[in-house]
Amino acid sequence: MGRKEDNIAKARDLMHKPEYIRNIDIAAHIDHGKTTLSDNLVAGAGMMSEELAGKQLVMDFDEQEAARGITINAASASMVHTIDGQDYLINLIDTPGHVDFGGDVTRAMRAVDGCVIVVCAVEGPMPQTETVVRQALREKVKPILFINKTDRLINELKLGPVELQQRIAKHITEVNGLIMKMVPQEFKEAWTLRPETGNVVIGSAYNNWAISVPWMKKTGLTFKDVIDHCNAGDQKGLAKKAPLHRVLLNASITHHPAPHVAQKYRIPHIWKGDLESEVGKAMVNCDENGPLTLMVTKIIIDPHAGEIAFGRLFSGRVQKGQDLYVMGQAGKNRSQQVAVMVGADRIPVDQVTAGNIAAVQGLRDAIAGSTVSTSPDIEPFERIVHVSEPVVTVAVEAKQTKDLPKLVEVLRTVAKADPSIQVQINQETGENLMSGMGELHLEITEYRIRNDHGVDIKTSAPIVVYRECVLGRTPQPFEGKSPNKHNKFYVTAEILEDSLVQAIKNGEIPDSNGKIKDVKALVPKLVELGWDRDFSKGLFGLVGTNVFVDVTKGIQGIHETKELILDAFKEVCARGPRAGEPIQAVKFVLHDAKLHEDAVHRGPAQVIPAVRNACYGAMTVAGTTLLEPMQKVYISVPQDVMGGATREMQQRRSVIEDMESEGDMAIIHAKAPVAAMFGFAGAIRSAAQGRVLWSTENVGFQALPRELLDKVTGEIRTRKGLKPEPYGADYYAG
CATH classification at residue 496: 3.30.230.10
Residue 207 DSSP symbol:
T
State the burial class of residue 497 (Cβ atoms within 10 Å of its Cβ: 0-12, 13-18, 19+). middle
State the pairing for strand pair 323-326/333-334. Answer: antiparallel
- Residues 144, 41: one domain? yes
C-alpha to C-alpha distance for 429 and 408, rounded to whole angstroms = 13
Q: Give residues with Cβ within 8 angstroms of 128, minimum separation 6.
A: 28, 29, 30, 97, 98, 99, 102, 695, 697
Range list of H helices, 329-482: 404-417, 439-451
- Reported as a pLDDT band with limits 50, 70 and 90, residue 313 is very high
Given a contact cutoff of 8 angstroms between Cβ atoms, the answer to whether 95 and 74 are in contact is yes
**Do 147 and 248 belong to one domain?**
yes
Residue 108 contacts residue 297 (beta carbons within 8 Å): yes
* Residue 644 located in a structural domain: yes
Residue 9 pLDDT: 75
Domain boundary residue among 595, 622, 649? 622
Report pLDDT for 364: 83
Please, is 706 exposed, middle or buried when counting C-beta atoms within 10 Å of its C-beta (0-12, 13-18, 19+)? exposed
Mean pLDDT value across residues 166-190: 90
Contacts of 451 (CB under 8 A, 6+ apart): 63
Which residue type does 397 have? E
Give the pLDDT band (50/70/90) at residue 62: very low
Average pLDDT, the chain: 83
**Does residue 730 sit within a domain?**
no
In terms of domains, do 650 and 615 share one?
no
223-231 helix and 161-182 helix, angle to the nearest 10 degrees: 120
660, with CB counted inside 10 A (0-12, 13-18, 19+), is exposed
Between residues 548 and 127, the one the model is more confident about:
548
CA dihedral sign of residues 714, 718, 724, 727? negative
Domain co-membership, 109 together with 177: yes
Higher pLDDT, 599 or 282: 282
- Domain co-membership, 9 together with 104: yes
Mean pLDDT of 165-186: 90
Q: What is the 3-state secondary structure (H, E, C) of 136-164?
A: HHHCCCEEEEEEECHHHHHHCCCCCHHHH
Same domain membership, residue 324 and residue 212: no
22 beta partners: 90
Last residue of a domain, one of 594, 622, 650: 622
* Mean pLDDT to the nearest integer, 443-449: 79
Q: State residue 287's pLDDT score.
A: 93
SS3 (DSSP) at 362: coil
Q: Other C-beta atoms within 10 Å of 533: how many?
A: 10
Task: Classify the phi-psi angles of 355: left when phi > 0, otherwise alpha if psi is within -120 to 50, otherwise beta.
Answer: left
* Residue 70 pLDDT > 50: no
Beta bridge partners of 397: 458
Is the domain of 272 the same as that of 229?
A: no
Round to whole Å and give the CA distance between 621 and 641: 50
Give residue 93's pLDDT: 74
Q: Give the model's pLDDT for residue 97.
A: 37
Do 458 and 515 belong together in one domain?
no
DSSP string covering 260-281: HHHHHHHHHHH--S-TTSHHHH
- Helix, strand, coil percentages for the chain (3-state, nearest 5): 40, 25, 35
Domain that holds residue 514: 468-622
The answer to whether the predicted template modeling score (pTM) of the entire model surpasses 0.85 is: no
Q: Is residue 378 part of a domain?
A: no
Residue 140 falls inside a structural domain: yes
Burial class (CB in 10 A: 0-12, 13-18, 19+), 554: exposed
- Residue that wins the pLDDT comparison between 93 and 427: 93
**Tally of CB atoms within 10 A around 21:** 26
DSSP 418-441: -TTSEEEE-TTT--EEEEESSHHH
Most confident of 8-17, 50-59, 236-245: 236-245
Residues facing residue 372 across a β-bridge: 294, 326
> Do β-strands 546-550 and 200-204 pair in parallel, antiparallel, or remain unpaired?
unpaired
- From 210, 226, 257, give the residue that closes a domain: 257
| 699 shares a domain with 579 | no
Look at residue 337 and tell me if it is in a domain: yes
pLDDT at 98: 38
Average pLDDT over residues 557-561: 86
Tell me how far apart the 2 most distant CA atoms of the chain are, in Å.
90
Residue that wins the pLDDT comparison between 299 and 145: 145
What's the total number of domains in the chain? Answer: 5
For residue 162, what are the contacts with CB-CB under 8 A and spacing of at least 6?
Answer: none
Which stretches within 597-658 are classed as H helix? 604-622, 642-650
Question: Which contiguous run of DSSP H or E holds residue 688?
Answer: none
pLDDT over threshold 80, residue 306: no
Whether 236 maps to a domain, the answer reads yes
| CATH (domain of 694) | 3.30.70.240
- 284 and 139 both lie in a single domain: no
What is the pLDDT confidence band of residue 45, given thresholds at 50, 70 and 90? low
CA distance 630 to 143: 28
Distance between CA atoms of 251 and 256, rounded to whole angstroms? 8
Model confidence pLDDT, tens digit, residues 255-299: 999 999 999 999 998 888 889 999 999 999 999 999 999 988 887
Supply the CATH number for residue 452's domain. 3.30.70.870
- Whichever domain contains 186, its CATH number is 3.40.50.300
Task: Give the other-Cβ count within 10 Å of 6's Cβ.
Answer: 12
Task: Write the CB contacts of 335 (distance below 8 Å, at least 6 apart in sequence).
Answer: 318, 319, 320, 321, 322, 324, 360, 361, 362, 363
Chain centre to alpha carbon of residue 90:
23
Residue 726 inside a domain? The answer is no
In a domain, 632, yes or no: yes
Are 283 and 314 a contacting pair, CB within 8 Å? yes
CATH of the domain at 293: 2.40.30.10
Using DSSP's 3-state secondary structure scheme, residue 347 falls into strand
Shared domain for 362 and 429, answered yes or no, is no
Does the structure show a pLDDT above 70 at 336?
A: yes
Co-location of 511 and 597 in the same domain: yes
Of 136-145, 185-194, 264-273, 514-523, the one with minimum mean pLDDT is 514-523
Distances (CA, A) of 144 to 42, 119, 191, 245: 19, 11, 8, 15
* pLDDT at residue 74, as a whole number: 35
pLDDT of residue 558: 86
Average pLDDT over residues 211-227: 91
Q: Report H helices in 418-557.
A: 439-451, 498-505, 519-528, 533-537
